[in-house]
């Protein structure tokens, strides 16, 4: 069963329940109202009859035998149609009630039994429904008291035919109207659900087409309101766009890895073939060693990025003296430089929280990147300064520079600028990608500005340690320093 069908039936079922509840409540209220009106009429008549009956019973000297009944006002006027009244007195000898008086509506049909026999034994007012000769009546019975003594009962009844007919007609109307409403709701609900879920069908069809054609460039068209369905379509389209970009990156990544691995393997295979023909050759061995080291660096970098992508590369963050780290990188860069001057610019005393080894790897990647692409006689300048809540490290070179069109992509894996990033320099094409990951993992930022022919400046920004935390760290460091004994001291 489809979602549309389930929604339609659910909506119709809820509507049917609401209609049934409304019908039950409405009929109950109408029934209660009409019965109250009948009860009020019966009690009003009983009150009048009781007043006349008490006066007559208190004056037994009046001769009423000729009439055969106590003279009572007959409750059969136009204002009280269908009323039946009886007066029952108790016989002290037989202890059984006997009919003393009845209204003309009963005398005319010759009915002499009690309208409600059970109520004649009750000393209290009784109101209930009874069936007399297959006629549904509402009967009210009150005790007749004279001088504080109960001498009988007065009963008044009224047919409930009109009330029952009104209730039945109401239920019939509600049943027909409810059935019609539910049928309309079924068709309307199906139409609305079909229209509302049309984008869902489009999503399903698009997903099937993408799977069949392997085409992530497709998007779901939607021109409806920005409701939940619109948000779902927008999210699905964004997901498709992201998947498309990821697959393109993956294809390029696989192609670049294949090419990068093929290059050293080809060199190694070529030198091995040469050695088979001419024997041992020191130059060929050096080439094999160089290409093996390059391939090892490539594999190590790939493994590092793979662990980082999987979230399995943990950082051991501690308090790091960033100025000390910059000095270490500067000293190491001077050893690596060959014809390029390494300059140490202004260095402020700065502390950050991070992984010392990874931060040093990041700085070395930036510095060695500058050394590779700076010609002999050029300079690479390393500086550190603090500004507000950030530590800023600049690595500036006077190298070839980077074209403006390539600047947004140089941190991508294996991205190379045609001339400035030639494989002749021996890089793996992953150093800047690793640098960006380390910066992101420390909550920092890394960027670059460059001018072709003049050089590039890489800027790393890291969040500073709060001053109070830094002072506490320095205090603990001094407290933990070992005691140094000078020669001749005690």
Cα 416–421–423 angle (5° rounding)? 95
Nearest CA among 121, 115, 105 for reference residue 155: 115
Packed helices 282-310 and 228-278: angle between N→C axes, nearest 10 degrees? 160
In this structure, which long-range contacts are made by residues 62-67, counting pairs with CB atoms below 8 Å and at least 24 apart in sequence?
none
The residue written with tokens 């963050």 in the block is 317
Element (DSSP H or E) covering residue 29 = helix 3-58
- Tokens describing residue 360: 């040093």
Please list the residues that pair with 158 across neighbouring strands: 83, 138
pLDDT at 477 exceeding the cut of 60: no
Across 211-233, average pLDDT: 78
Highest CATH level, class, for 216-310: mainly alpha
Across 285-296, average pLDDT: 80
Rounded to 5 degrees, what are φ and ψ at 97?
-75, 150
Please list the residues that pair with 85 across neighbouring strands: 156
Q: Where in the chain is the domain with CATH 1.10.287.130?
A: 216-310
The residue written with tokens 């990821």 in the block is 246
Across 310-330, average pLDDT: 85
Tell me what pLDDT residue 445 has: 92
68-82, 119-133, 180-194: the lowest-pLDDT one: 68-82
Q: Residue 83, Cα to own-chain centre: how many angstroms?
A: 66
CATH 1.10.3110, domain 3-62+69-166, yes or no: no
Q: What is the pTM of this model?
A: 0.48
- Tokens describing residue 187: 């068709």
Asked if residue 351 lies in contact with residue 390, where contact means CB atoms within 8 angstroms, the answer is: no
Highest CATH level, class, for 318-479: alpha beta
pLDDT at 452 exceeding the cut of 60: yes
What average pLDDT does the chain have?
Answer: 79
The residue written with tokens 């073939």 in the block is 273
Given pLDDT bands bounded at 50, 70 and 90, which one contains residue 488?
A: very low
State how far the Cα of 333 lies from the Cα of 448, in Å rounded to an integer. Answer: 20
Q: Where in the chain is the domain with CATH 3.30.450?
A: 3-62+69-166
């Amino acid at each position: 069963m489809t979602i549309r069908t389930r929604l339609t039936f659910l909506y119709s079922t809820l509507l049917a329940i609401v209609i049934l509840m409304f019908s039950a409540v409405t009929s109950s209220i109408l029934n209660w109202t009409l019965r109250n009106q009948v009860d009020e009429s019966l009690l009003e008549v009983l009150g009048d009859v009781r007043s006349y009956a008490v006066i007559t019973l208190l004056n037994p000297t009046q001769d009423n035998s000729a009439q055969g009944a106590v003279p009572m006002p007959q409750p059969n006027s136009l204002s009280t149609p269908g009323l039946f009244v009886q007066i029952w007195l108790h016989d002290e000898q037989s202890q059984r009630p006997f009919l003393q008086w009845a209204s003309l509506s009963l005398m005319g049909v010759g009915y002499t039994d009690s309208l409600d026999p059970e109520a004649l034994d009750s000393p209290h007012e009784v109101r209930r429904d009874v069936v007399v000769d297959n006629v549904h009546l509402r009967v009210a019975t009150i005790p007749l008291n004279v001088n504080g003594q109960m001498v009988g009962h007065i009963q008044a009844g009224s047919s409930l035919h009109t009330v029952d007919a009104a209730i039945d007609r109401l239920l019939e109307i509600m049943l027909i109207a409810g059935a019609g409403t539910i049928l309309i709701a079924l068709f309307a609900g199906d139409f609305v659900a079909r229209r509302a879920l049309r984008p869902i069908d489009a999503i399903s069809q698009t997903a099937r087409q993408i799977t069949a054609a392997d085409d992530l460039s497709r998007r779901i068209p939607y021109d409806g309101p920005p409701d939940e369905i619109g948000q779902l379509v927008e999210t699905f389209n964004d997901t498709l766009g992201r998947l498309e970009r990821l697959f393109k990156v993956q294809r390029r990544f696989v192609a670049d890895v294949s090419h990068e691995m093929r290059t050293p393997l080809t060199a190694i295979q070529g030198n091995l073939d040469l050695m088979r023909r001419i024997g041992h050759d020191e130059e060929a061995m050096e080439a094999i060693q160089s290409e093996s080291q390059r391939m090892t660096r490539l594999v190590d970098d790939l493994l590092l990025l793979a662990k980082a992508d999987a979230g399995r590369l943990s950082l051991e963050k501690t308090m790091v003296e960033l100025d000390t780290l910059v000095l270490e990188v500067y000293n190491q860069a001077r050893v690596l430089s060959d014809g390029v001057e390494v300059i140490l610019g202004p260095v402020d005393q700065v502390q950050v929280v991070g992984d010392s080894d990874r931060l040093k790897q990041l700085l070395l990647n930036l510095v060695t990147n500058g050394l590779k692409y700076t010609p002999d006689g050029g300079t690479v300048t390393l500086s550190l300064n603090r500004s507000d809540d950030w530590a800023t490290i600049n690595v500036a070179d006077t190298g070839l520079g980077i074209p403006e069109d390539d600047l947004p992509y140089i941190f991508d894996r294996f991205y190379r600028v045609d001339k400035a990033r030639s494989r002749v320099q021996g890089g793996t094409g992953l150093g800047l990608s690793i640098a960006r990951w380390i910066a992101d993992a420390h909550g920092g930022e890394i960027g670059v500005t460059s001018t072709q022919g003049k050089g590039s400046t890489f800027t790393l920004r890291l969040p500073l340690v709060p001053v109070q935390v830094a002072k506490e760290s320095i205090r603990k460091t001094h407290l933990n320093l070992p005691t140094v004994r000078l020669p001749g001291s005690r």
